Structure 1
């Protein structure tokens, strides 16, 4: 089972990128995350065909079982992320997210800083037909919140993240959760290997 993940930042080492990879390590068994890195190439929604940068994403979403977005506070939310979801929710995106779970994870020092981000992104996901969920982690955007393995260091925050990620588990896995085996660990370097179309695979470790 595959989940498409997007980090809501144009910076390669942004804390939301680290949060996305930390989330990959907490996914339920038998789920793996495929990160899409094409955010910076997404234009605003306009008349005409689907841009090439979105064709590949929509193709991956059509074959995926859900979507995961990690996003910052609204003051630094890139407009390209809004454009991406607007394209997916438009007639060009078709039904690539229809009936699928989608989770927005935000991490801000104070709860109210994520309210606008959660509302805006979850509304766009719902418009695309997804079952939209949200999780706000009271975490300051600093690298000290991740351990040497890339996981969230605080056990309580990690437990909240894991509970939220459980919403991405398809019903077929929920019924057999007690029998599911842990997914395989794939060794990774500091940077994931790139795949065609601006995507890279990150498997739960």
Structure 2
């Protein structure tokens, strides 16, 4: 099974990207998690640009999404919402259908006790509009993230490590269920 992991943060030392790397390391051998690295290459959305289909980076993203079994997002919270670059990316995908019935997991993290819960809610709502499947158990809000990682971005909290495994397992089960339904 293939999962495309998308971090909502462009920061080099992003804790959100660290969480996705950790999920990839913790995933069972039957699951391959690939980190998407093109968020900062997506141009500002405009319906006219989408009609002309002139963006190579958007075409590549759409292709990656079509070829993957599931998607795993991890995002910080900016001004009680998701980062603009992530919202822009989702705007490009609103009319092309890559998320229709695709299992999607959502992780948010933050330095406060809220753990990015408002960004989590915004992203969940947006993905529901895009008709993604949000499986039970494939959702995680991580408060006080900096207390759970070391200076190199490795998880030091065993509970968080297990929670990441659980999110990946929920996505794996949702993909298996999708395959059974479509057969």
TM-score (norm 1): 0.72
**Of 145, 156, 160, the match for 1:157:** 160
Q: Which is bigger in relative contact order (C-alpha 8 A, separation at least 6)?
A: 1
Per-residue deviation at 1:129?
A: 1.8
Per-residue deviation at 1:112?
A: 2.6
Cα distance in 2 between the residues matched to 1:172 and 1:116: 27
Which secondary structure state, in structure 1, belongs to the residue aligned with residue 65 of structure 2? Answer: helix
Residue in 1 that maps onto 2:180 = none
**Of 58, 67, 72, the match for 1:63:** 67
Which secondary structure state, in structure 2, belongs to the residue aligned with residue 119 of structure 1? Answer: helix
Structure 2, unaligned stretches of length 5 or more? 178-183
Structure 1, unaligned stretches of length 5 or more? 175-205
Question: Given the superposition, is the C-alpha separation of residues 40 and 166 from structure 1 closer, same or farther in structure 2, using an over 3 Å criterion?
Answer: same
CA contact (8 A) 2:115 2:145 kept: no
Is 1:13 the equivalent of 2:17? no
**Of 36, 39, 52, the match for 2:56:** 52
Cα distance in 2 between the residues matched to 1:113 and 1:72: 8
Question: Given the superposition, is the C-alpha separation of residues 44 and 134 from structure 1 closer, same or farther in structure 2, using an over 3 Å criterion?
Answer: farther
Is 1:87 the equivalent of 2:84? no
Is 1:106 the equivalent of 2:108? yes
Give the number of aligned pairs: 169
Is 1:73 the equivalent of 2:74? no
Deviations 1:28-75 (A, max 9, x none): 441111111111122333122243221101101101001011111234
CA contact (8 A) 2:2 2:31 kept: yes
Which secondary structure state, in structure 2, belongs to the residue aligned with residue 124 of structure 1? Answer: helix
Residue in 2 that maps onto 1:138 = 143
CA contact (8 A) 2:115 2:142 kept: no
CA contact (8 A) 2:114 2:143 kept: no
Instruction: Name the structure where helix makes up a greater proportion of residues.
Output: 2
Residue in 1 that maps onto 2:128 = 126
TM-score (norm 2): 0.80
Question: Given the superposition, is the C-alpha separation of residues 126 and 6 from structure 1 closer, same or farther in structure 2, using an over 3 Å criterion?
Answer: same
